[in-house]
């Protein structure tokens, strides 16, 4: 009997077109049940694909990193709340997060604050006029996310343990910590500056893993996804 897909594993559909994304979903079959649709697909009919995936019983993560004035973010989040999708990202700014929380209130759509992109190094953060290290900036934004009342954050695996500690101290054991920058042993880091293996990310406190190229660029994406799922099955 084929095991059910691990709900902690999110496959990033970072393809140029929805046709390519659909072909990838078909190849993965029941090895993956949760998909991330980012800005690249958003600009190419990604919302229609999201609705199709939901109609098939799959879970969908809208990684759109909303960032605008509060009123606009609230209205956009309210529109997306009716889509039936599961996760939505916004930039981890207090006003933006609070607005998104208001917009999705009463729906099943959960809001995540994007803390510090996993492609950024400490030098990149300093160049963006931040005096804090990536780890300290993530910690600040986790506290702000908790204050805003959203459901979780996106952070690198390297900051997951501290984010989990802060959430638990606030009484939020249900707080989601979604980690991109996850690479199985031996996989290329690509553009990820702060990465970790799937098991290390979960051990650090991640609730979900976002994995793209180690699955999507594999000769056999389904086998790659199953191998990752098996590697974390006991965690």
Beta bridge partners of 111: 88
Q: Where are the alpha helices (DSSP H) in 43-115?
A: 46-55, 70-81, 94-104
- Name the pairing type of β-strands 208-211 and 176-179: parallel
**How many whole angstroms separate alpha carbon 39 and alpha carbon 34?**
17
Catalytic status, residue 36:
no
Phi-psi region of 136 (alpha: psi -120 to 50; beta: other; left: phi over 0): alpha
φ/ψ of 176, rounded to 5, equals -85, 135
Closest C-alpha to 47, from 97, 88, 75, 9: 88
Q: How many helices (H) and strands (E) does the chain have?
A: 11, 8
φ/ψ of 112, rounded to 5, equals -120, 135
DSSP 8-state symbol, 135: H
Give the active site residue among 36, 65, 75, 110.
65
DSSP 8-state symbol, 29: G
- Name the pairing type of β-strands 152-154 and 9-12: unpaired
**How many whole angstroms separate alpha carbon 105 and alpha carbon 85?**
14
Q: Which residues are catalytic?
A: 65
């Amino acid at each position: 009997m084929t095991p059910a897909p691990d709900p902690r594993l999110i496959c990033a559909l970072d393809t140029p077109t929805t046709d390519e994304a659909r072909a990838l979903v078909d190849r993965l079959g029941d090895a993956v049940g949760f998909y991330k649709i980012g800005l690249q697909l958003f600009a190419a009919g990604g919302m229609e694909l999201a609705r199709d995936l939901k109609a098939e019983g799959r879970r969908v993560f809208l990684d759109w990193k909303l960032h605008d004035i509060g009123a606009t973010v609230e209205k956009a989040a309210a529109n997306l709340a009716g889509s039936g999708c599961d996760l939505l990202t916004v930039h981890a700014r207090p006003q933006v997060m609070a607005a998104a929380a208001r917009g999705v209130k009463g729906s099943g759509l959960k809001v995540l604050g994007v803390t510090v992109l996993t492609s950024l190094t400490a030098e990149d953060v300093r160049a963006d006029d931040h005096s804090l290290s990536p780890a300290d900036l993530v910690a600040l934004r986790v506290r702000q996310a908790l204050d805003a009342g959203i459901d979780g954050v996106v952070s690198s695996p390297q900051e997951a343990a501290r984010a989990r500690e802060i959430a638990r101290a606030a009484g939020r054991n249900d707080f989601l910590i979604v980690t991109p920058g996850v690479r199985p042993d031996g996989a290329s880091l690509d553009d990820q500056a702060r990465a970790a293996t799937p098991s290390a990310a979960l051990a650090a406190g991640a609730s979900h893993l976002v994995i793209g190229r180690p699955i999507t660029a594999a000769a056999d994406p389904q086998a790659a996804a199953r191998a990752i799922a098996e590697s974390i099955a006991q965690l």
